[in-house]
Amino acid sequence: MDISIVIPLYNEEESLPELAEWIERVMNENKFSFEIILIDDGSSDNSWDVIKTLRSSMGECIRGISFRRNYGKSAALYCGFNAAKGDVVITMDADLQDSPDEIPELYRMIREDGYDLVSGWKKKRYDSKLSKNIPSKFFNGITRCISGIKLHDFNCGLKAYRSKVIKSIEVYGEMHRYIPVLAKQSGFKKIGEKTVQHRARKYGTTKFGMSRFVNGFLDLITITFITKFGKKPMHFFGVIGTVMFLLGGGIAIWLIARKLYCIANGIIFRDVTSQPLFYIALVTIIIGIQLFLTGFLGELISRNSNERNKYFIDSEI
């Protein structure tokens, strides 16, 4: 099969028939063999009934997955990726803001240009600048700096993947924003970008609130730590803990040595325990020991993890 199109959705009953018809027309025009996987993320409207109707009218090219409740976009993509059978996997949103006319070029970039992943870039957007555009640019800039991946829009729903990419990564929590980072972590370094059309929303309202920016920032910190120190936590906690322990210990030794010097030379001095610096040193030593132990426990957990020897083999002879 040439293409699997994975579409997570939540309360999109109005847009689904038009979207499915549009995709089918593009696929037939380009003579692609394809499947459309629609993941209903616990919709409260009639989205699942619409999916069943599409299955009846369009046949086996429509596949549906329904969640009992709303789990989020990452969970929907994870299930869609597991179900996908195509050589190239395309993800897109169900709200008609992503154009299926972009699919043939995305497919070509994967198959002919050799990209592992191609991310869409909605250069011209129809969203509110205050609520979406400005925060989006801010987080994309931070992600570019931290990950080293030169993409303008990490969170664009329209992406194309080589099949082995989506089979090698695990999308969880709200990590769908950082799939390119997960792909790079798994060894897929040929990541490209394509300017795509952003269409104004035709039906319904956006399903994402302002909380996505807070969650997105926390997820970025998580994925950055996991990427760099997931298999070697002692290199992070141990180094910081050792530095703090040595710093606190050095201050304490200096205070004691200063006291002994003052006694030896008959100089009036303050008790060590009456000086604020002593308590700062004590707290620093305690925190340093705690961080070191955290790294040690992290190493024990990592060594007993089922994924401690999970490596990504590209090919074998």
* Ranges of H-type helices in the chain: 16-29, 47-58, 73-83, 103-111, 134-147, 163-166, 179-185, 211-229, 234-264, 276-303
User: For the domain with range 3-228, which CATH number is right: 3.30.70.20, 3.90.550.10, 3.40.50.360, 3.40.50.720?
Assistant: 3.90.550.10
| Cα 94 from Cα 157, distance rounded (Å) | 10
Dig out the tokens for 131 from the structure: 């609520």
pLDDT tens, residue order, the chain (317 aa): 899 999 999 999 999 999 999 999 999 999 999 999 999 999 999 999 999 999 999 989 999 999 999 998 999 999 999 999 999 999 999 989 899 999 999 999 999 999 999 999 988 766 655 556 677 777 788 888 888 888 988 888 999 999 999 999 888 877 888 899 889 888 898 999 999 988 777 776 665 555 666 676 777 777 777 767 767 888 888 899 999 999 999 999 998 888 888 888 888 877 877 888 989 999 999 999 999 999 888 888 777 766 555 555 555 65
Q: Are 37 and 6 in contact (CB under 8 A)?
A: yes
| Cα 215 from Cα 183, distance rounded (Å) | 20
| Cα 95 from Cα 256, distance rounded (Å) | 69
Phi/psi for 221 (5° steps) reads -60, -45
Q: Are 160 and 111 in contact (CB under 8 A)?
A: no
| Cα 66 from Cα 40, distance rounded (Å) | 5
Q: Is 74 exposed, middle or buried (0-12, 13-18, 19+ CB in 10 A)?
A: buried
pTM of the full structure: 0.75
Dig out the tokens for 5 from the structure: 């199109």
Vertex 193 angle, CA 222 and 6, to 5°: 70
| DSSP category for residue 12 | -
Phi/psi for 93 (5° steps) reads -80, 160
Q: Are 128 and 210 in contact (CB under 8 A)?
A: no
Dig out the tokens for 79 from the structure: 């299930």
Domain chopping of the chain, boundaries: 3-228, 234-303
Dig out the tokens for 245 from the structure: 């322990």
